[in-house]
Structure 1
């Protein structure tokens, strides 16, 4: 492989990585070459097949199919790669973080090993890649033992064989904090994989984890990188973007996206970009958008947890390096569990399950039915209610009268059916509870006035969408569907007594929310902060103290016209 001086010069300028993808020279070279992109997003360490709704894909007709699991994902990737000469496996970020115990107990090292095994060529940096801070992300990239826990899964941990890329992350001094792009060669044609993460990442990560980092505008970063690639003569440009849209339902290949940040970025960014592979929102869609020059390009996302693979087939002119957009074909493939699981990956998963088993399989409680994240029309969920009640119980020593938690911190359903470990129906294990609350956030109790409490509840309606806080049984309120922003919430009571705007109320939230996370800036104004238990510890203690726990009634929030 010969890299032109022009490409080498631009590579040095932007600090990108240049590697090759094997392609044999034919006696009579074809005018074009085919490239298949195989991507997944928001894997979150789900090495085992995820349970409940997290392990199902909704099809266009409303039926569901069980999907996901690393060994099945590996088989589907191998099958897709076997159908074409050239392929690249890519990740849309959040490979790690918010992971089940099987991966998280070992600081997600098993997940990085899995990504190496399936041949991932590049991954964008998602917000959860930074959950444990920038230095831990560097360890994921380059390897080495954890500074506190040492090497427990591998000795030593060797790190990712692929680059993490993000064109819009810099240090405070403006210098790049990550590779903006990596270059792969396909039959001697350069293909650029540009990374970009969400500009609003600071709103979904604790401030301490991203201290010293800045997150720039997505379109500006993409355009800057794309221009440099244009100067280098690199015409095939693919974006891995950790930002996504919400949808109005539909199957894996439907396009029912609501107006959102991913579509906005994909329609405004450089016309030289050929594909947008997205993530972050855990949605499934397969769309075509129009670039600033009026040409089509795919915008696609594959749900989460390894349930779907986003497949984009490109035809590239070997002389010019340009993609024939009219020949691009994209689809989302369901990672069914009817295929033979990949034995090498299965061995890795089995190792992680075995090593984590003594902790993961310990019983912490029992339930009488599924506790799900399925929301009522008012925004309440059975599992959210239970977790908020648990957090209130766990902070009674702080004189808490209310607890509230963010829905994004509740990662999966708590299901009644036994897991593959065979603990029995209704038994909740520590591993299952950990999968629900994996962040190890610290509970904090603050004092809010009644007016500040109302302002906090009003902040559930945001420009990016509605984020309903899950609340303890001590708090009740109504909200109006027709009211204007800032005036939706009424009839707030605490333990049956109307809230006094000037009164003082002890409110328990996790440290992420207390720092204003998820857009709840009013919580930063709380006073008299007192620390509490880890949210997971509060949850498991509550489950232990309430055997045969049933789903609570959804009566804490009332919807008005």
Structure 2
């Protein structure tokens, strides 16, 4: 790491001669204001959506109950400018990068990080997708340097993010690891004691920003389920610990520095009752609510992400006081505005003054001219690849699951993966994780005007942006049944909610909604033939799943691992070989009560 670490405390005035000191509170003059205003503007789960997202991913229910087109960098920038005032700090709650469309992903998301810095983001929590290419690549994104394999992008040497990435619950597994984060923190004996009982931070846990003479402390957190949803190799040296416990340690560190105005930026959230106003408290209490209600009472508000929902809630902290708990959708479709007053004597947020509003990033405003120029540059660099036709479809192919959890696009991808792994991998069936199907394929032509029904490489990449390797492993019939059981909560793999794997056309089975875990799956057939417990089956999946991702631990029991093409290459090849493709019938999985 470079010296751009931890809190940028040197800038904040909290590092003196190598030791941490509390921030002094000056005596108030008689005419000094009792409070000063601070505005936060927050984004979450941007996922490199520089272009306006399409399909359902590009629409949002507004405050009046209308569904409107939303998102796109030129409109995010325009709305940010309109909402920004002299008291503003811009923040984010993670997944700004990763699972990104081609215009960003082709250059390892440097365009998106650059854009977010240009519009004024100052601090962000890390999300699980910040680890998609591993911890070493995240450090490169944070601190600069050209990609070790692909080299510098067309914009030249990468200078690093203009904003701070923070993650208080990301620790090294090795307690002997030494970093400049720990060296900076350990200069204070009290902080050193906290860390000795806690662990070795792999990322700066907090960031301090000053506004109108008062310090605001931001605590970064990422879902502790990250090891289950990113490729294991890239984070093999890290552990992701309980968010509440990490937040409370970080809060104590901020308090030791004299920072009383404390904001959690957490990449974890809750699902909502559908089709509600973005300003409604529609969140159904879950993992995000647990954090929002249990973190230390010193923490004044919790801005969340990860679940891609929009809500504004007031929850009770452990001391019974109200605090804000919010999220702003995803893909740059919503900006959360939080206005508050900070007491100049105590330097704490006056919670009764907190007012929040989720603004939908509508496309009925003039696009930001600087961002138009920025986008033109990157479109030009990627256009030849992005606009190349790779196949045709006869109708929209959606990634929305049916009542069984099966989606037409998920099934199509699984079919392509099986076709790509039969030769070499000897695959007999294929399974695709639903979270990896990031966007629908739409029949109508895109702004590139390639024609109705034409699928371009850029559109295919938006569907499958992870560049995972296709692999095949051998499982027994009994292990395959266990794997399918692991789609549901209640088992030892601790699946938080049902995640229905998308099957290739030659695999069918039935699941029971009411049966106990371990007895939910029945009638498994391959090519119409019942599967026995002892038979060997070659199963194809991406390397994320094969490594046990999404809590599918049974995949790790597979033997004779074979690696083949990238998943995007398998998908593109299948599109090209089957023209035109109609939406597959979602009849491979049967659900009974």
Query: Where do residues 25-104 of structure 1 align in structure 2 (5 Å cutoff)?
Result: 28-59=31-62, 63-82=66-85, 85-104=86-105
Question: Residue deviations 1:86-132, cap 9 Å, x none?
Answer: 01111111111111110111111111110111010101111111111
1:533 aligned onto 2:565: yes
Checking the alignment, whether the CA contact within 8 Å between 2:263 and 2:300 is kept in structure 1 is yes
Query: 1:27: Cα distance to partner?
Result: 10
Paired residue for 2:398, among 372, 382, 385? 372
Unaligned segments of structure 1, at least 5 residues: 19-24
Question: Residue deviations 1:450-509, cap 9 Å, x none?
Answer: 111111111111342111111111111111121112221112111111111111111101
Query: Where do residues 487-526 of structure 1 align in structure 2 (5 Å cutoff)?
Result: 487-526=519-558
Question: Residue deviations 1:346-379, cap 9 Å, x none?
Answer: 2111111110001111100010111111111001
Tell me, in whole angstroms, the C-alpha distance in 2 between the residues paired with 1:63 and 1:81.
Answer: 25
Aligned to 1:8: 14
Aligned to 2:189: none
Tell me, in whole angstroms, the C-alpha distance in 2 between the residues paired with 1:224 and 1:427.
Answer: 53
Checking the alignment, whether the CA contact within 8 Å between 1:445 and 1:507 is kept in structure 2 is yes
With over 3 angstroms needed to count, the CA separation of the structure-2 counterparts of 1:59 and 1:340, relative to structure 1, is closer
Query: 1:26: Cα distance to partner?
Result: 11
Paired residue for 2:316, among 274, 283, 290? 290
Query: 1:277: Cα distance to partner?
Result: 0.9
1:166 aligned onto 2:198: no
Stretch of structure 1 that moved more, 42-51 or 479-488:
479-488
Report SS of the residue matched to 1:244.
coil
With over 3 angstroms needed to count, the CA separation of the structure-2 counterparts of 1:426 and 1:203, relative to structure 1, is same
Question: Residue deviations 1:65-100, cap 9 Å, x none?
Answer: 100001100111111113xx3011111111111111
Query: Where do residues 186-225 of structure 1 align in structure 2 (5 Å cutoff)?
Result: 186-225=211-250
Paired residue for 1:472, among 499, 504, 507? 504
Aligned to 1:145: 146
Tell me, in whole angstroms, the C-alpha distance in 2 between the residues paired with 1:405 and 1:11.
Answer: 55
Checking the alignment, whether the CA contact within 8 Å between 2:14 and 2:20 is kept in structure 1 is no
With over 3 angstroms needed to count, the CA separation of the structure-2 counterparts of 1:58 and 1:332, relative to structure 1, is same
Checking the alignment, whether the CA contact within 8 Å between 2:12 and 2:210 is kept in structure 1 is no
1:548 aligned onto 2:551: no
Paired residue for 2:430, among 391, 397, 403? 403
Query: 1:259: Cα distance to partner?
Result: 2.9
Aligned to 1:22: none
Report SS of the residue matched to 2:84.
helix
Query: 1:194: Cα distance to partner?
Result: 0.8
Checking the alignment, whether the CA contact within 8 Å between 2:12 and 2:209 is kept in structure 1 is no
Tell me, in whole angstroms, the C-alpha distance in 1 between the residues paired with 2:18 and 2:164.
Answer: 16
Question: Residue deviations 1:408-452, cap 9 Å, x none?
Answer: 111111111111111111100001001110111111111111111
Tell me, in whole angstroms, the C-alpha distance in 2 between the residues paired with 1:89 and 1:417.
Answer: 36
Stretch of structure 1 that moved more, 527-536 or 357-366:
527-536
With over 3 angstroms needed to count, the CA separation of the structure-2 counterparts of 1:372 and 1:12, relative to structure 1, is farther
With over 3 angstroms needed to count, the CA separation of the structure-2 counterparts of 1:61 and 1:450, relative to structure 1, is farther
CA RMSD of aligned residues (A): 2.2
Checking the alignment, whether the CA contact within 8 Å between 2:310 and 2:327 is kept in structure 1 is yes
With over 3 angstroms needed to count, the CA separation of the structure-2 counterparts of 1:322 and 1:365, relative to structure 1, is same
Aligned to 2:193: none
Tell me, in whole angstroms, the C-alpha distance in 2 between the residues paired with 1:493 and 1:127.
Answer: 35
Query: 1:520: Cα distance to partner?
Result: 0.3
TM-score, normalization by structure 1: 0.94
Tell me, in whole angstroms, the C-alpha distance in 1 between the residues paired with 2:21 and 2:555.
Answer: 40
Tell me, in whole angstroms, the C-alpha distance in 2 between the residues paired with 1:528 and 1:177.
Answer: 34
Checking the alignment, whether the CA contact within 8 Å between 2:438 and 2:462 is kept in structure 1 is yes
Query: 1:62: Cα distance to partner?
Result: 5.9
Q: How many residues align?
A: 550
Report SS of the residue matched to 1:542.
helix
Query: 1:257: Cα distance to partner?
Result: 2.1
